[in-house]
Amino acid sequence: MLAALAVACVAAAGTADAQTVAKVNIDFAFVAAGAEMPAGAYEFEAKGAQVVIRAVSPKGKSAIMPVITRLGRHDNDPDPELVFDKVGAKLALSEVWFPQFDGFLVLNTPTDHEHRVLGGSHPHK
C-alpha cells in the first residue's frame, strides 16, 4: 500500500537550538496538523518548539506542528525517518526524525493505531 520514501538530508544540526532541515518525497496522502496533505515533495524543518512542513511545489500545502516532546536518538540512522499513525484509512504524521539528531513527537494518538515507519534504515511498508 505504501510506496518507498525518497529522502535527502540537506543539513543536520549538532545543538539543541540549531536548525535542522530535510527534503522528503512522500508518494501518498497524509494528515499533518489536521490538514490533508497530498502526495509530493516536502521540506521538514525543526525550529525550536515546532516542526514546519513546506510543500516544495508552489501549489502544495504547508503546515506547522507544535512539538509535544523531543525523543532521544534511538539509533545512528544516516537518513531522515517519518512515523505515521494509521487510524482507519488515514495516515497522520506523528514523529519526525533527522539524521544524528533527536526526534520530535508532533502527534499523540490516544486510540488504537498502527505505526508506519518510512525512511531511515528499516522502513516498514
Domain boundaries, the chain: 6-119
> Which pTM does this prediction carry?
0.79
Q: Write out pLDDT tens, residues 57-88.
A: 888 889 999 999 998 876 777 788 999 999 88
Q: Write out pLDDT tens, residues 42-59.
A: 999 998 899 999 999 888
Cβ–Cβ < 8 Å for 113, 86: yes
* 35: number of Cβ within 10 Å: 12
What one-letter code names the amino acid at 59? K
Cβ–Cβ < 8 Å for 110, 92: no
As a whole number, the mean pLDDT across the chain is 80
Confidence at 33, pLDDT banded by 50, 70, 90: very high
pLDDT at 4 over 50: no
Cβ–Cβ < 8 Å for 33, 50: no
| φ, ψ at 87 (rounded to 5°) | -125, 115
